[in-house]
Chains A and B, each alone.
Chain A
């Protein structure tokens, strides 16, 4: 009798696709070819991999995804409800990963700035120089980044030249439509900000219906000296979708990068933000706010790499879990040898609203220098019943009291939104989340 040795699975076990076709843009084609090779080799992660220990990937591995072209996807109708008034003419729309020029408008973008679909820039030096240069996912044998590499043809390309400010927020609107079959899409972003440039980006993922799909995104942000970026990321995917996200930022001297990821949708959301410090005196934020219920899984595995002197970093990751939802947080902070005067703040706060919700949290500091200030912490708690009673005794129903307390918990994260309409949108989303029809399940005393 022989024991069958199970062959290692790759992501190709769970999806169809012809990865031989490559973009006619050389910079993209190179990545397409590299990715095609990698996806057939990199093993699909299992619970035995430390980075995937708590993450249930069955919503991918028990499914089968096809390319968008074979999915019978519905064509797009009027989506103006999703437009931001501040970004009426600074918006790129991607429908199921494909650029849609009719719904996009970049009239408000200054002439020397590039905001567009990278497939339209066949011989742009900046694109050639930077695309694919900042992702370091191959060394981790990252199957998802490889899939993005192999598959993307369209993508956001933003280039802000030296000492230029883009006044209007740039809205990257990724829309997902209903389809007959589960499909995969691979949105891609390259942002290059030259010295002392400034821009605000709102990256949004939104589903028009609650269908199944696999959304695999890779973002590369390169900030030269003194460049300044505010980056809001709003994830409102379908509650049946899988969204795997790889945003990475490389910061030169005096650069400031502040990103805020808001997770509301997706059955499975896995976000691995990385920030790499290339020089002294950088200042950055990778905050997160997660509001999940039902059987949603939201997993953040972040890595912050302090490599030089005088960095200031901030990571506040707030999570509200209801029903059977599951939140995972693993925040790695590295301080390399000889990178002194680092001021690093990390906190993961979790609020559990139900008996059956799960939270795994692991702050992870690796410090190899001595003159640093690193504070980190993680808390998990239920709503404080004394607080509930206090508000209740003032005439508020218990439901209203709990809503108000959850709202207050999230507010700190939402107030960081610079774009007014995004701020408003998130307040509405929080109200929607907290005032669901079903009663909150009261937990604890």
Chain B
């Protein structure tokens, strides 16, 4: 579904590379976890893949279902079925969750030649999806993330994902800052959404989330590259040993190259 080949990227207008040759392949039906210390480039990878204008791709390519998407705008990527759950969801006063989601859902439907939903049909559809994150109807009437608690903001990202039903979702630290109850609700929601036709990439700093969601693959990112990939046992290993061991290995390798 997604193939990232030798991806290099920097902040637009700056020389400093943040991604220094990322390679990653994701197939449908898979859940991947990308872990790594702060500043390793995890969030940058998510933003570059979703088309954030702040970053410039200097080399490599991103193929989504075989199509090179590096030149596409963020909305066009969303139309293809890509989704980014934000690490820091943005507050948008004055626009309700319902308004945004209806506009989003119908735009994506239109772009894909599917039928748009009228307000009444859409409301029924939304209410169904509220169960995914255990929220009440009032949630729809609230301005996007405005005055939301940290947990509500993250739930809202999962809710948006449930409604838009993307093929591929990058979830950027969706677990960070959640208390135990919110973490359960959020991971339950993600588990409900995960299926054989979609793929999910969890970007996380901690192993905590992976107690609730079992990834098929775990990758470790350091210094703008994926330095190690393995099965779910890698996460436990990291939890025990921390990143220091890997950092040593990686920097030794780096020096040897």
A393 close to B92 (CB less than 8 A): no
What are the residues of chain A within 8 A of B84 when measuring CB–CB?
393
Q: Taking the complex as formed, is A64 at the interface, i.e. its CB lies under 8 A from any CB of chain B?
A: no
The verdict on B204 contacting chain A, using a C-beta distance below 8 Å, is no
- A390-405: contact bitstring with B at CB < 8 Å (1 yes, 0 no)? 1111111110100011
Instruction: Assess the A390–B92 pair: CB atoms within 8 A.
Output: yes
On whether A397 and B94 interact (CB within 8 A), knowing A391-B100, A404-B103, the answer reads: no
Q: Given the known A-B contacts A404-B99, A405-B95, A411-B94, are A395 and B108 also in contact in the complex, defined by CB atoms under 8 Å?
A: yes
Smallest beta-carbon distance A316→chain B, Å: 13
**Taking A387-B92, A408-B92, A409-B94 as contacts, is the C-beta distance between A393 and B99 under 8 angstroms?**
no
The residue from A391, A394, A398 contacting B164, defined by CB atoms under 8 A apart: A394
Number of A-B contacts (CB under 8 A): 71
Contact yes or no, A393 B94, CB < 8 A: no
Give every chain A residue within 8 A of B90 (Cβ-Cβ).
Answer: 384, 386-387, 389-390
The answer to whether A412 has its CB under 8 Å from any CB of chain B is: yes
When distances are taken between beta carbons in the complex, the residues of chain B under 8 Å from A397 are 75, 107
Compute how far the CA of A389 lies from the CA of B3 in the bound complex, rounded to whole angstroms: 24
A396 pairs with B94, CB closer than 8 A? no
Number of chain A interface residues as a range: 20 to 34
B107–A396 CB distance below 8 A: yes
B52 CB within 8 Å of chain A: yes
List CB contacts (< 8 Å) of A353-401 with chain B: 384, 386-387, 389-398, 400
Instruction: State which residues 67-81 of B face A: CB under 8 Å.
Output: 73-75, 77-79
**Distance to closest chain A CB from B112 (angstroms):** 10
Contacts of A390 in B (CB 8 A): 86, 89-90, 92, 144
Q: Give the chain B neighbours of A398 by CB distance below 8 A.
A: 73, 75
Interface residues of A: mostly helix, strand, loop or mixed? Answer: helix
Size of interface on B: residues with Cβ below 8 Å to A: 32
Given A389-B53, A389-B74, A390-B86, do A395 and B92 touch, yes or no (CB 8 Å)?
no
**For B93, what are the chain A residues with a Cβ–Cβ distance below 8 Å?**
408
B95 pairs with A393, CB closer than 8 A: no
Assembled-state Cα–Cα distance A42/B74 (Å): 59
- Whether A392 and B92, one on each chain, are in contact in the complex, defined by CB atoms closer than 8 angstroms, is no
Cβ of A318 to closest chain B Cβ, rounded Å: 11
Q: How far is the CB of A57 from chain B (nearest CB, A)?
A: 35
Closest Cβ of chain B to A125, distance in Å, is 48
Question: B223 contacts the other chain (Cβ, under 8 Å)?
Answer: no
Residue of B nearest to A394 (CB): B104
Across the interface, which residues of B come within 8 angstroms of A400, CB to CB?
A: 103, 107
Selected A-B contacts with CB under 8 Å, 9 pairs: A390-B92, A390-B144, A393-B52, A393-B83, A395-B111, A396-B104, A407-B95, A408-B93, A412-B94
Cβ-closest 7 pairs across A and B: A408-B94, A395-B78, A390-B90, A394-B104, A393-B74, A408-B95, A392-B74
Binding site for B on A (CB under 8 A): 384, 386-387, 389-398, 400, 404-405, 407-409, 411-412, 445
Seen from chain B, the residues whose Cβ lies within 8 Å of a Cβ on chain A are 50-54, 73-75, 77-79, 83-84, 86, 89-95, 99-100, 103-104, 107-108, 111, 143-144, 160, 164
Q: A393-B77, A404-B99, A409-B94 are in contact. List 10 more A-B contacts (CB 8 A).
A: A389-B90, A390-B86, A393-B83, A394-B78, A395-B108, A395-B164, A396-B104, A398-B73, A405-B92, A411-B94
